[in-house]
Structure 1
């Protein structure tokens, strides 16, 4: 507690921090709390999800707010209902004995109850943009006098298309307020928003090397090359390989999330699905079951999974490849949290390999290819677990009735003891060790006929391009070292370069994304063998 005490916090806040079991501030808390207490400029705080960002802005904000102000003093915007509830509960626990009223407002529940709550001299409102706007339009929420506007998970807020809503909400506030944005990533859109509405601001980041830290260095990251049709069979093998399988499985569409969940249920697994068609009541029920490990497999779309916060999640599985590097970061950031170990697994089809390499290069992570588990590996793993459980449960204190039953079986059976035990195991285990349960998975061969890939570049001598300038240009645009760009041939209106296969796929995907629907500047040369 010494570092918290040295920040000059009140006894009430220190007591609340102590009650929550906080001994030392996290990196983002240690940097942000003193800065905000000093009353300095607005802040963009960058840190990984699950590193105590709520306390980082909540503690100094609570210290600064007045008791019995009679108006809303702070507004916290969150992208999801779950995060709104979570942040509200965290702030309520941090205020200690200070007389501040904190409420959360979000869609999917009765608005009349929220209206009644807002009439009772609320100090801090935590909510989602849609429901906040609803109350503003009804005149049931007044944020014209707020002293703090906090935009939590700002990158996710923008990804979900809330930018216009956020701007509308900002327009209903005053110019003197402090604006704080917290985010795992800081894309250009956030900087643009900050320049427009924050005036003078500081970026406080705990991420020294954004590429390495953002992808959660503690998480083991692997990928499997797999045909689309075989993904469900691979998922089943992974589930059966680990007796303590506990995973959040991401798909890109609602339809696919339901298909995957249904296939698992058909195969005897208990799985839940979370997508945009799930009601708020069902959503809370599903999440509570998942957090309590009553359900260990949750299939979810990205939007539906926003705000899911589980510290001991063992696996995050990208059943569908993420749309972009930021999406990948957000997904895998849900495992290996709070000091726990975790594994991020990505399924990659042949058609997606170029896109996957682009993501891999962008996030700067060492994502290793993994071998698909053999059926024999899974059966042997099950045998070891069963054997271990039986040996561990063997005891001299077995009740006499079971010993009597065993004696009678041995006396009455003509088979040897080994056959008898085998028959008993088969009777109780049923199809647990049946290899026919597992379908064969097709081997994926990547087309690497040519060790190097020849690329066509629509720049030449007429564009004042030299071999050196071209290599430097490609390196700057893609992050691929110019050392990998060889056999450069610059002609009048176009050029050719040779690049190793994997690097070529990153270059092609990068320029495809930059083209925004137009013809990319770089493409594969037509005659690769020449």
Structure 2
């Protein structure tokens, strides 16, 4: 792996990078920085969240800009307000020259504040498509002399319905600019946008597995849906210094989980799209400063949040697709530090987790939730450690005086036990918890098998049903959804019958049946964006 000094950076930029604390470039940075500096082509880069892509395009842009120029030289489009703010903060911290100015432009922020900043002159604008379009239509933003256009997290902009806005924005930019497109995935729609809006481009790719690094321990707990909150509390209570993101499916869920956590005494906040911008920024600030240890968020609300040293990411609800899982997990275990990613799985979701694990090319181990006794013992150990630590500190004379008065009428063990019970009795009450039953995969549903023969082999639905009945003992009425293709076939069977068929195959030494992969158009797969009102987080 090269060092930053090997990438062609000038002394001023290299000094800023080292001052920032960067030690060595990530794979996408090692590819992108010299390409932008030494090549004149546009760049199409595939890189996950958490791989350092902001610095990958930001560092070379900062080197190539003219600090004295009064006009906007670089435009960075992001899908969310949080990411726009994060990008602006990151680039500001890497500036080699204080004359380079960076402004975040997004909906929910004062328009007057943005207008004043643009009138003063800005070198780099990082903004959301909707607000950027507003300024272009007001003619308060001039992109006529733009040198760089960056599309950050293009796949998210596509899923939020922003691609038309992006193309309209790019129509206001000069043809000679360089376009840098970054996306975690490369669906056909993104490639089509690249071909329509970019000049000759070079394609760069960082391995997607870099996001789910070995430093992240990925664990799945199988629990009933009604037991998820209890499981979450146990995981939090087992940790000495829990600091994590809890992902759930809806805004209502985020509010409900955060409220229940606060009622139970945890420092938790909810983050979702219905919050006002000032409130969102206040919540994020509290979380970054660790005034709140738990942030319960939806995927869209958490997009672009960059918080260091998270100990845990918890999937309270299983994400809908492998990309979402990889994005979530990538928020812990960064920069070589360890982290834990936990996923709660109900019995009916077990097969979906297997599908996510396979397509995400990651390893998720099955874990056992701690028992009530284990949680209470972990708490008692922490309390004992905290008390011993407090004994080594300076103690207020008034406290010593109170202790002497109490001990005058009681033995030391009883006195200390009474103090501990008064301070921690509620926290150590076993009644706060209830035993949970861990569950396995749902064996009441059906699974789909692939048959290694098809129409060309003379296979028909009737022959397949007859074979399953005669050779494997499967009742014909339990066989369903048969699909015969030229070289193979598919059949759906109850789990128990499928296991009998697979066992029979292994006994005969044949490879006639095998488990089918989940269908590409499964109900939990991403759907194409539908036209509708512009996203409120524009």
TM category (shorter chain) comes to 0.7 to 0.9
Per the alignment, residue 477 of structure 2 pairs with none
Per the alignment, residue 507 of structure 1 pairs with 517
Per the alignment, residue 427 of structure 1 pairs with 422
The CA deviation at 1:385 is 1.0
The CA deviation at 1:47 is 3.2
- What TM-score do the two structures reach when normalised by structure 2? 0.82
Unaligned residue ranges in structure 2 (runs of 5+): 461-481, 503-512, 528-538
Per the alignment, residue 338 of structure 1 pairs with 335
Per the alignment, residue 524 of structure 1 pairs with none
Per the alignment, residue 235 of structure 1 pairs with 232
**CA displacement, residues 196-238 of structure 1 (integer Å, 9 cap, x when unaligned):** 222422222232xx3x323233211011111111111111111
Aligned length in residues: 490
Per the alignment, residue 160 of structure 1 pairs with 160
The higher relative CO (CA closer than 8 Å, separation ≥ 6) is in: 2
Q: Give the match's secondary structure for 2:389.
A: helix
In structure 2, distance between residues paired with 1:204 and 1:17: 22
Q: Give the match's secondary structure for 1:263.
A: helix
Per the alignment, residue 76 of structure 1 pairs with 76
Per the alignment, residue 54 of structure 1 pairs with 54
In structure 2, distance between residues paired with 1:76 and 1:24: 24
The CA deviation at 1:306 is 1.2
In structure 2, distance between residues paired with 1:384 and 1:143: 61
**CA displacement, residues 374-420 of structure 1 (integer Å, 9 cap, x when unaligned):** 0001011111111222233335976666555545444423xx65444
In structure 2, distance between residues paired with 1:157 and 1:426: 54
Which structure 1 residue ranges, 4+ long, deviate > 6 Å from structure 2?
A: 456-459, 462-466, 488-493, 497-501, 503-506, 514-517
Unaligned residue ranges in structure 1 (runs of 5+): 467-487, 518-530
**CA displacement, residues 93-119 of structure 1 (integer Å, 9 cap, x when unaligned):** 433237433222111011122122212
In structure 1, distance between residues paired with 2:220 and 2:89: 37
Instruction: Say whether the 8 Å CA contact 1:218–1:336 is kept in structure 2.
Output: yes
Per the alignment, residue 258 of structure 1 pairs with 255
Q: Greater CA deviation, 244-253 or 438-447?
A: 438-447
Instruction: Say whether the 8 Å CA contact 2:51–2:211 is kept in structure 1.
Output: no
Per the alignment, residue 102 of structure 2 pairs with 102
- What TM-score do the two structures reach when normalised by structure 1? 0.83
Per the alignment, residue 39 of structure 2 pairs with 39
Aligned runs of 1:17-416 on 2, under 5 Å? 17-97=17-97, 99-207=99-207, 210=208, 212-395=209-392, 405-413=402-410
Instruction: Say whether the 8 Å CA contact 2:348–2:441 is kept in structure 1.
Output: no
Instruction: Say whether the 8 Å CA contact 2:33–2:60 is kept in structure 1.
Output: yes
Instruction: Say whether the 8 Å CA contact 1:12–1:98 is kept in structure 2.
Output: no
CA distance 1:15–1:420, change in 2 (3 Å): closer
The CA deviation at 1:513 is 5.4
Aligned runs of 1:441-520 on 2, under 5 Å? 441-448=436-443, 455=449, 460-461=454-455, 495-496=490-491, 507-510=517-520, 512=522
Paired residue for 2:431, among 421, 433, 436? 436
